[in-house]
């Protein structure tokens, strides 16, 4: 383990019928001295069975968070759950929902209590959770709820896709494209920009982050000829951010923001909707981009892909994005600890 690496990270395997369990096993199997130690909140028997199905050679040991770092070099540390997980690769079972939620709740509690330096989450499947009564739009909103329940304060989580060549942040996320103009607000863009700037400084060591703010419409509205949101909503947000001492500029035409020369001029792109941010991020680094949640009182990263039910259990899922998520969580945890 490299010098300065945090003692241990907590990992959830997400939807047990997806590729999360085998990715966790494969990441441990390819460990080297530079990989941060982690423990998995799951069912040890499930992980062993999935590794065998995916033809991954692995040792698994049931343990506690406190013992995980010592165990990691010789075996994958798995902290057992109280709820059962169904071993049905490719076929999500709502009966596993309590275990999925338990793993997230316990990982957050471990991280907030200092038993883990950060949290890495494998993808969840929303429908089986909804079928079991899950009341949140997604993973990130549930994390914010857990923080609010523990602290009495409600964080504003911000999603960032981070790769070697681009950090991209959508202001609106999982909403239909037709609703984006209705969901956009000056205050929402300003809040997003403030959180991004603060966490880029805290966790990424960028003293004065440069934020490129995208327009919503073609050609950034072309002075109102192709839409007025740039004038009425986005430009006021840019002015407010600059007044707060943040190096923000725009609104910029999105079709000229993501080529190599343009990317050299900023540290993060603040985009107005989901695909405006995620298409360039995934096009540039499909296998190595990391989903980072900013605005929480702890480090949380995730691979940038979904549950991949169609290949679960077949031994063909690639672990590169999960490995990148582990590495980024470790680096963020180290940087964040220096600022305390």
What's the pLDDT tens digit per position in 300-320? 999 988 899 999 989 899 999
pLDDT digits (tens, 9 = 90+) for 222-276: 999 999 999 999 999 999 999 999 999 999 999 999 999 999 999 999 999 999 9
Residues 149 and 94 in one domain: yes
Distance CA 121, CA 104 (A): 8
Say whether pLDDT at 200 is over 70. yes
Q: For residue 131, which phi and psi values (nearest 5 degrees)?
A: -60, -25
Q: Which residues contact 211 (CB under 8 A, 6 or more apart)?
A: 193, 196, 197, 241, 246, 247, 248, 249, 266, 267, 268, 269, 270
Residues 171 and 316 in one domain: no
Name the nearest CA neighbour of 110 among 70, 83, 150, 74.
150
Residues 27 and 71 in one domain: yes
What is the average per-residue pLDDT within 173-188? 94
Task: Identify the residue with better confidence: 174 or 22.
Answer: 22
Please give the residue range of the domain that contains residue 15.
Answer: 1-155+296-340
pLDDT digits (tens, 9 = 90+) for 60-106: 999 999 999 999 999 999 999 999 998 999 998 899 999 999 999 99
What is the chain's mean pLDDT, rounded? Answer: 93
The answer to whether residues 84 and 95 touch, using CB atoms and an 8 Å cutoff, is yes
Name the nearest CA neighbour of 27 among 280, 337, 310, 301.
301
- Domains of the chain: total: 2
Position 2 scores a pLDDT of 44
Q: Using alpha carbons, list the distances in angstroms from residue 187 to 39, 156, 212, 237.
A: 39, 13, 17, 7
Distance CA 325, CA 323 (A): 5
Say whether pLDDT at 338 is over 80. no
257: tokens are 């923001």
Residues 196 and 278 in one domain: yes
Say whether pLDDT at 6 is over 80. no
What is the average per-residue pLDDT within 318-337? 93
Position 294 scores a pLDDT of 97
Task: Return the bridge partners of 76, or none.
Answer: 60
Residues 13 and 25 in one domain: yes
Q: Using alpha carbons, list the distances in angstroms from residue 64 to 38, 72, 80, 249, 298.
A: 11, 12, 8, 47, 20
CATH number at residue 67: 3.40.718.10
Residues 143 and 223 in one domain: no
Going along the chain, which residue ranges are E strands? Answer: 9-12, 38-42, 60-62, 76-80, 119-121, 158-162, 167-170, 210-214, 247-252, 268-271, 290-294, 300-303
Say whether pLDDT at 5 is over 70. no
Distance CA 190, CA 175 (A): 19
What is the average per-residue pLDDT within 285-296? 93
> The whole model's pTM is what?
0.92
For a pLDDT cut of 70, what percent of the chain falls above it?
Answer: 98
């Amino acid at each position: 383990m490299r010098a300065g690496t945090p003692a241990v990270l907590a990992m959830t395997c997400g939807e047990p019928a997806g590729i999360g369990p085998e990715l966790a096993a494969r990441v441990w199997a390819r460990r080297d001295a530079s990989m941060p130690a982690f423990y998995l909140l799951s069912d040890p028997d499930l992980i062993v069975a999935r590794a065998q199905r995916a033809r991954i050679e692995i040792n698994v040991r049931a343990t506690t968070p406190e013992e995980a770092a010592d165990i990691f070099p010789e075996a994958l540390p798995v902290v057992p759950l109280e709820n059962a997980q169904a071993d049905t690769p490719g076929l999500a079972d709502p009966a596993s929902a309590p275990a999925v939620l338990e793993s997230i709740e316990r990982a957050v509690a471990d991280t907030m209590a200092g038993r883990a330096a950060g949290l890495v989450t494998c993808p969840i499947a929303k429908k089986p959770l909804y079928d079991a009564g899950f009341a949140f739009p997604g993973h990130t909103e549930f994390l914010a709820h857990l923080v609010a329940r523990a602290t009495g304060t409600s964080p504003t989580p911000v999603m960032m896709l981070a790769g070697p060549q681009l950090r991209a942040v959508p202001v609106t996320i999982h909403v239909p494209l037709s609703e984006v103009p209705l969901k956009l607000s000056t205050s929402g863009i300003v809040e997003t920009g403030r959180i991004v700037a603060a966490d880029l400084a805290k966790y990424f060591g960028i003293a004065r982050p440069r934020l490129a703010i995208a327009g919503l419409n073609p050609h950034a509205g072309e002075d109102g000829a192709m839409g007025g949101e740039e004038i009425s909503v986005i430009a006021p947000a840019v002015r407010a951010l600059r007044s707060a001492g943040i190096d923000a500029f725009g609104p910029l035409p999105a079709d000229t923001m993501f080529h190599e020369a343009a990317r050299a001029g900023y540290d993060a792109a603040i985009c107005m909707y989901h695909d405006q941010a995620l298409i360039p991020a995934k096009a540039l680094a499909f296998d190595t981009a990391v989903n980072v949640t900013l605005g929480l009182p702890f480090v949380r990263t995730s691979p940038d892909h979904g549950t991949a039910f169609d290949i679960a259990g077949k031994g063909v899922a690639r672990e590169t994005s999960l490995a990148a998520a582990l590495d980024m969580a470790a680096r963020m945890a180290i940087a964040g600890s220096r600022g305390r």
